[in-house]
Amino acid sequence: MEDRYLTFALGKGRLADKTMEMLDKIGISCDEMKDKGSRKLIFTNEEKKLKFFLAKGPDVPTYVEYGAADIGVVGEDTILEEGRALYKVLDLGFGKCRMCVCGFPGAGELLQRRDKIRVASKYPTIAKEYFENVKRQTVDIVKLNGSVELAPIVGLSDVIVDIVETGSTLRENGLCVLEEIRPLSARLVVNQVSMNVQCERILDIIERLKRVIDE
Ligand code: PRP
Q: Return the DSSP state at 91.
A: E
What spacing in Å lies between the alpha carbon of 149 and ligand 1's midpoint? 9
Task: Supply the pLDDT for residue 133.
Answer: 96
Q: Does residue 1 register a pLDDT over 60?
A: no
Calpha distance 173→151 (Å, rounded): 11
Q: Does residue 107 register a pLDDT over 90?
A: yes
Q: What is the DSSP string of 65-88?
A: HTTS-SEEEEEHHHHHHH--S-EE
Calpha distance 52→71 (Å, rounded): 10
Nearest CA to ligand 1 atom 22: 146
Residue of 169, 170, 173 with the most ligand 1 atoms within 8 Å of its CB, for mutation: 169
What is the tens place of the pLDDT at every residue in 7-63? Answer: 999 998 878 889 999 999 999 987 777 777 888 889 999 999 999 999 999 999 999
Calpha distance 9→60 (Å, rounded): 6
Domains 6-95+185-214 and 97-183 are alike in CATH topology: yes
Q: Which atom of ligand 1 is nearest to the CA of 167?
A: 12
Domain 6-95+185-214 in CATH 3.40.190.10? The answer is: yes
Task: Assess contact for 209 and 90: CB atoms under 8 A.
Answer: yes
Which CATH class, in words, describes the domain spanning 97-183? alpha beta
Nearest CA to ligand 1 atom 8: 147
Q: Does residue 2 register a pLDDT over 70?
A: no
- The closest of 76, 102, 108 to 170, measured between CA atoms, is 102
What spacing in Å lies between the alpha carbon of 150 and ligand 1's midpoint? 11
Q: Does residue 136 register a pLDDT over 90?
A: yes
Task: Supply the pLDDT for residue 78.
Answer: 97
Q: Which atom of ligand 1 is nearest to the CA of 14?
A: 17
What is the tens place of the pLDDT at every residue in 61-103? Answer: 999 999 999 999 999 999 999 999 999 999 999 999 999 999 9
What spacing in Å lies between the alpha carbon of 148 and ligand 1's midpoint? 8
Element (H, E) at 19: helix 14-25
Task: Assess contact for 156 and 88: CB atoms under 8 A.
Answer: no
**What integer best gives the mean pLDDT of the chain?**
94
Nearest CA to ligand 1 atom 21: 146
What spacing in Å lies between the alpha carbon of 185 and ligand 1's midpoint? 14
Element (H, E) at 207: helix 199-214
Q: What is the mean pLDDT of residues 95-124?
A: 95
Nearest CA to ligand 1 atom 2: 163
What spacing in Å lies between the alpha carbon of 204 and ligand 1's midpoint? 34
What spacing in Å lies between the alpha carbon of 170 and ligand 1's midpoint? 9
Pairing assessment for the beta strands 139-143 and 117-121 based on DSSP bridges: parallel
Give the rounded percent of residues in the chain with a pLDDT score beyond 90: 87
For the whole model, what pTM was predicted?
0.93
- The residue ranges of every structural domain in the chain are 6-95+185-214, 97-183
Task: Supply the pLDDT for residue 215.
Answer: 85
Task: Supply the pLDDT for residue 31.
Answer: 79
Give the pocket of ligand 1 (CB within 6 Å). 122, 146-149, 162-169
Q: Side-chain half-sphere of 13: how many Cα atoms within 13 Å? A: 12
Q: Report long-range pairs for 26-30 (Cβ below 8 Å, ≥24 apart).
A: 26/205, 26/208, 26/209, 26/212, 28/205
